[in-house]
């Protein structure tokens, strides 16, 4: 157990961070080159005003027509994304580890709040899973990889909840928890999870094209 | 785990009796564990209490771990911050040197004092367990519910 713990908190953690950062830079660059080669008009259409206008509309809950038409999905995605980012950064156990390893610390969530937010993430993942299986227009676009990505995202939260509440086998579960987080980090550059970085560009471009060329709203 | 199940059950079944039983049980369990040496309980108890207290059985632990020299934990440093080999400080609690002004502590977000002290304990305890490949390393192994 000790050697596993040392490995996943030592070398593997560094590998995960490096793959995440270098992978993201690589992905950015290759998409950039591809755009330049295949569709360089994208750069000409880009317009700061129209881009920001579109991004703002899509970042505000119910700020777009599509969101108004799908209220359940809108509530789920917003809560999901907020909890997905806030929980791992501010959950108490992680703050403690930042303090120990890098001697920096910040605000920590009350344990109860972290539990509720974990439930929100897991619950939303179940909702997204249900959509992919049950709704025809979503099912049509679904590939097996989408289910794997859902699992990659849900796993750190399920295992973390398990470890924190000390359910049976929580020692091994803590190690699985660490590994699952590292897998998620490493998956970001190479899967559609990369939309966390790409969002402003895709949205910004659509906003620019609709605003500047078609003279229409894209929300 | 029990606490979690309990709190869920509390919501459904007749609240008051169940709570009373649980409280009695919890009380019985905590008071029974009298040979636990609560590390620095006093200093930290007044504060966040974010995790259950660690049951550190001082003498039993050190015997089992084969720690004969007290200064492995109760260390002394000179003015330059250099470790003085062979000199121990068991007459002082860790917080006397590692927690600064205890009076103003409230919680982790408003004050960093607690987290500093807790991190010192973790460094001392967990680092040795990792290098020795023996003893608890995961939060819940020390902070047992």
Do the domain assignments include residue A160?
yes
Measured CA to CA in angstroms, residue A75 lies from A60, A88, A96, A174 at distances of 11, 20, 31, 31
- The per-residue pLDDT for range B57-69, each reduced to its tens digit, is 888 899 999 988 8
Locate B105 and state its tokens. 């502590």
Do the domain assignments include residue A219?
no
Q: Which of B119, B122, B145 comes nearest A166 by C-beta?
A: B145
pLDDT score, position B75: 92
Locate B77 and state its tokens. 């440093």
Whole-number percent of chain A with pLDDT over 70: 99
Contact at 8 Å (CB) between B125 and B119?
no
Do the domain assignments include residue A126?
yes
Helix, strand, coil % over all residues of chain B, rounded to 5: 50, 10, 40
Asked if pLDDT for residue A47 goes beyond 90, the answer is no
- The per-residue pLDDT for range B111-131, each reduced to its tens digit, is 444 677 888 889 999 999 999
pLDDT score, position A108: 83
- The per-residue pLDDT for range A132-186, each reduced to its tens digit, is 999 998 888 899 999 999 999 999 999 999 999 999 999 999 999 999 999 999 9
Q: Which residues of B touch A164 (CB under 8 A)?
A: 139-140
Asked if pLDDT for residue B133 goes beyond 70, the answer is yes
Q: Which of B119, B130, B138 comes nearest A174 by C-beta?
A: B138
What angle is formed at CA A83 by the lines to CA A79 and CA A85, rounded to 5 degrees? 125
pLDDT score, position A97: 93
pLDDT score, position A152: 97
**Reported confidence tier of residue B29, pLDDT bands at 50, 70, 90:** very low
Evaluate whether ipTM surpasses 0.85. Answer: no
pLDDT score, position B3: 54
Do the domain assignments include residue A218?
no
Cα nearest neighbour of B145 on chain A = A166
Helix, strand, coil % over all residues of chain A, rounded to 5: 85, 0, 15
Q: Residue A105 is part of a domain; what is its CATH number?
A: 1.20.950
Q: Which of A83-87, B39-43, B54-58, B69-73 has the highest mean pLDDT?
A: A83-87
Per the structure, how many domains does chain A have?
A: 1
Q: What residue numbers bound the domain in which A66 lies?
A: 2-213
Cα nearest neighbour of B4 on chain A = A165
Taking alpha carbons only, the member of A102, A80, A115, A131 closest to residue A17 is: A102
Do the domain assignments include residue A129?
yes
Contact B137 A105 (CB under 8 A): no
Contact B141 A171 (CB under 8 A): yes
Average confidence (pLDDT) over B133-141:
92
Query: For chain B, how many residues are written?
Result: 145
**Reported confidence tier of residue B8, pLDDT bands at 50, 70, 90:** very low
Q: Which residues of A touch B141 (CB under 8 A)?
A: 171
Considering only residues 157 to 186 of chain A, which have any Cβ-Cβ distance to chain B shorter than 8 Å? 163-168, 170-171, 174-175
Instruction: Tell me which of A210 and B92 has the higher pLDDT.
Output: B92
Distance CA B99, CA B117 (A): 6
Give B57→chain A minimum CA distance, Å.
21
Cα nearest neighbour of B114 on chain A = A96
Q: Which residues of A touch B145 (CB under 8 A)?
A: 165-166
Q: Which of A93, A100, A111 comes nearest B119 by C-beta?
A: A100
Do the domain assignments include residue A12?
yes
Do the domain assignments include residue A133?
yes
- pTM comes to 0.86
Asked if pLDDT for residue B26 goes beyond 70, the answer is no
**Reported confidence tier of residue B43, pLDDT bands at 50, 70, 90:** low
**Reported confidence tier of residue B102, pLDDT bands at 50, 70, 90:** very low
Asked if pLDDT for residue B32 goes beyond 70, the answer is no
- The per-residue pLDDT for range B68-101, each reduced to its tens digit, is 889 989 999 988 888 888 888 888 888 778 865 4
Contact A170 B4 (CB under 8 A): no
């Amino acid at each position: 157990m000790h050697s596993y713990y040392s490995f996943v908190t030592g070398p593997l953690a560094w590998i995960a961070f490096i793959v995440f950062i270098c992978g993201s830079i690589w992905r950015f660059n290759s998409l950039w080159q591809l755009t330049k080669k295949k569709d360089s008009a994208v750069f000409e259409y880009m317009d700061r005003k129209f881009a920001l206008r579109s991004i703002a509309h899509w970042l505000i809950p119910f700020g777009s027509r599509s969101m108004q038409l799908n209220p359940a999905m809108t509530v789920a995605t917003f809560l999901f994304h907020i909890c997905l980012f806030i929980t791992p950064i501010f959950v108490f156990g992680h703050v403690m580890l930042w303090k120990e390893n890098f001697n920096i610390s910040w605000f920590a969530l009350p344990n109860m709040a972290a539990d509720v937010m974990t439930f929100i993430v897991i619950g939303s993942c179940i909702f997204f899973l249900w959509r992919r299986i049950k709704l025809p227009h979503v099912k049509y676009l679904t590939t097996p990889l989408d289910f794997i990505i859902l699992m990659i995202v849900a796993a750190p939260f399920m295992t973390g909840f398990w470890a924190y509440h000390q359910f049976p086998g929580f020692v091994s579960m803590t190690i699985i928890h660490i590994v699952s987080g590292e897998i998620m980090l490493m998956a970001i550059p190479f899967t559609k999870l990369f939309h966390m970085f790409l969002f402003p560009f895709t949205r910004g471009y659509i906003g620019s094209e609709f605003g500047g060329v078609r003279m229409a709203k894209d929300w | 785990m029990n606490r979690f199940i309990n709190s869920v059950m509390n919501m459904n079944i007749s609240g008051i009796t169940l709570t009373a039983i649980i409280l009695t049980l919890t009380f019985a369990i905590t008071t029974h564990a009298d040979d636990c040496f609560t590390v620095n309980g006093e200093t930290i108890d007044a504060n966040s209490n974010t995790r259950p207290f660690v049951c550190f059985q001082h003498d039993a632990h050190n015997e089992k771990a084969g720690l004969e020299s007290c200064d492995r934990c109760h260390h002394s440093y000179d003015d330059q911050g250099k470790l003085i080999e062979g000199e121990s400080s068991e007459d002082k609690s860790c917080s006397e040197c590692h927690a600064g002004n205890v009076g103003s502590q409230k919680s982790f977000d408003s004050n960093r004092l607690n987290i500093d002290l807790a991190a010192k304990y973790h460094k001392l305890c967990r680092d040795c367990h990792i290098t020795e490949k023996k003893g608890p390393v995961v939060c819940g192994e020390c902070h047992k519910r």
